[in-house]
Amino acid sequence: MTSTSGLNLVAGQWTAAHSGKVFSRRNPADDDDLVGEFPESSMADVEAALPALAEGAAEWAAASADRRAEVLGRAAGLLEERRAELAAELVREEGKTLAEATAETTRTSLNLRFYAGEAHRVAGASYPADDGGLVYTWREPVGVVGAITPWNFPLTIPSRKIGPALAAGNAVLFKPSPVTPLMAQRLVEALLAAGLPSRAVALLHGGAAAGAAAAADPRVAAVTFTGSTTAGRAVHALVGPSRRAQLEMGGKNPVVILQDADLDRAARIIVKGAFGLSGQACTGTSRVIALRQVHDPLLDRVVELAGKLAVGDGMRPGVDMGPLAADFQLRKVLDHVRVGQEEGADLMTGGHRLTGGGRERGLFVAPAVFAGVCPEMRLAREEIFGPVLGFQCAADFEEALELAAATEYGLASGIVTRDLGKALAFARRSPSGLVKVNQPTTGTAMNVPFGGLGESSSQTFKEQAGPTAMLFYLREKSVYLSPLD
């Protein structure tokens, strides 16, 4: 397969990094397959990009809502036309299954179309004025937005940041994850081909240094970040108090199973939430809290289903779970499995590297299920972000709630029950921004606000959904207007 020589987009030109340094990206299912080489950006590249972005911001802010909507809609169409090719590239670069990658490419176009519509809905308010005048609020773009993104949804997460940022009339400095640079390149290519002024977007490949330089620069008016809580805290400190930061970060998401649950259904919900996307979803299920009456039969079912998952290259038909995305992911997962055993949890299945059957050069692990996980164990507290699931046992609903809430994170939680009263009580009392009843913790709708509580989010602005998502990218002025006579 051919590899791609990726480039940064700076001042409307595709260009190498100032330092000339590059990094390479390999297929996580096959280390021999070089996806491409991409520039390793630094502060010098951020410096080079910002003056043109300021010009691009002015040009794009002056564009009509019709034009902004047209560009976003056209970019969505271009991605749709290339969906099959793009999904295959996404499998190759990140390691999803083809079905997961196809769903992601589809959602990305939908996101862009959704925000195309939002371009027309930017509105302020008017207020009564005593003197026959007018008081109104006026919303305008913030200027240059920094978008720093993770690798696990390399198209959809950027699209739900860049989409609203552009719909609101801003320019965007896009710093994607170094794990998925090709997808970032494809998204920016589509926006340019759709007619976005080339100075209204900059693409800077690279890692933390480039992200930190972008976050620290006062010319970047607002920084939207999705990634780990550790990096998010660093970004927040760099942005400081007088610029905007929106942070969506890690999770340690529980699912509570009550005694009335259909256990076959509950097991399927758990397995999808825990091992879909190879467990590399921020909303992925990492803890099961089962009531004592159903704990053992549920555990048996989950262990059986996990053991049956076909793990392999996401392009292969019949594969349920692809590889982990990167070496550091594989090391982290194997390390947590070892620590879990050392801490005394019972490894019921999986947790080992898989190398046979064409998987010799890939980052494959068997989905792991632990039983006997205690609240103080690292398995119960730390985000693993891989296919590792821990079972905890609760005596009753109150204890289940307590165990579910025993985490610094607050991204997603779930409950499986037929008891509507308990479901509603759980939704009210669970300290997470997303609550699922009889559904996997993963999977969210494009038009619904999304964001965490606790250490999962800055809780400043929600992502994903109309007005709440747009507000981050708009600043507001209050205008008092009186007649002179």
The one among 115, 151, 397, 472 contacting ligand NAD by CB under 6 A: 151
Query: In this complex, which beta carbon is closest to ligand NAD, that of residue 41 or of residue 109?
Result: 41
Query: In this complex, which beta carbon is closest to ligand NAD, that of residue 12 or of residue 207?
Result: 207
Q: How far is CA 308 from the centre of its chain?
A: 28
Residue 245 beta carbon to ligand NAD: minimum distance, rounded to whole angstroms:
11
Size of interface with ligand NAD, in residues (CB under 6 A): 30
158 lies in the binding site for ligand NAD (CB under 6 A): no
Phi/psi at 130 (5° precision)? -70, -30
* Residues numbered 381-400 forming contacts with ligand NAD, rule: CB under 6 A: 383, 385
Phi/psi at 231 (5° precision)? -70, -35
- Cα separation, 5 vs 2, whole angstroms: 10
228 lies in the binding site for ligand NAD (CB under 6 A): yes
Minimal CA–CA distance to 330: which of 261, 258, 384?
Answer: 384
- Cα separation, 78 vs 158, whole angstroms: 16
146 lies in the binding site for ligand NAD (CB under 6 A): no
Size of the chain, expressed as the number of residues it contains: 485
163 lies in the binding site for ligand NAD (CB under 6 A): no
161 lies in the binding site for ligand NAD (CB under 6 A): no
Query: In this complex, which beta carbon is closest to ligand NAD, that of residue 117 or of residue 449?
Result: 449
Residue 214 beta carbon to ligand NAD: minimum distance, rounded to whole angstroms:
7
Task: Take residue 29 and report the two structure tokens written for it.
Answer: 């299912």
Q: Return the sign of the alpha-carbon dihedral for residues 388, 391, 397, 401.
A: negative
Query: In this complex, which beta carbon is closest to ligand NAD, that of residue 207 or of residue 443?
Result: 207
Q: How far is CA 2 from the centre of its chain?
A: 28
251 lies in the binding site for ligand NAD (CB under 6 A): yes
| Burial of residue 12 (number of CB atoms within 10 Å: 0-12, 13-18, 19+) | middle
The one among 34, 54, 234, 437 contacting ligand NAD by CB under 6 A: 234
Query: In this complex, which beta carbon is closest to ligand NAD, that of residue 75 or of residue 184?
Result: 184
Q: What is the dihedral of CA 1, 315, 35, 42, to 10 degrees?
A: 160
185 lies in the binding site for ligand NAD (CB under 6 A): no
Exposure on the CB side of residue 141, measured as CA atoms within 13 A: 28
Phi/psi at 77 (5° precision)? -65, -40
Active site residues: 248, 282
Residue 456 beta carbon to ligand NAD: minimum distance, rounded to whole angstroms:
6
Show the binding pattern over residues 424-463: x = contacts ligand NAD (CB under 6 A), - = does not.
----------------------------x---x-------
The one among 227, 273, 323, 410 contacting ligand NAD by CB under 6 A: 227
- With contact defined as beta carbons under 8 Å apart, do 154 and 28 qualify? no
User: Where do contacts with ligand NAD occur on this chain (CB under 6 A)?
Assistant: 148-152, 175-178, 207-208, 211-212, 215, 226-228, 231, 234-235, 248-251, 282, 383, 385, 411, 452, 456
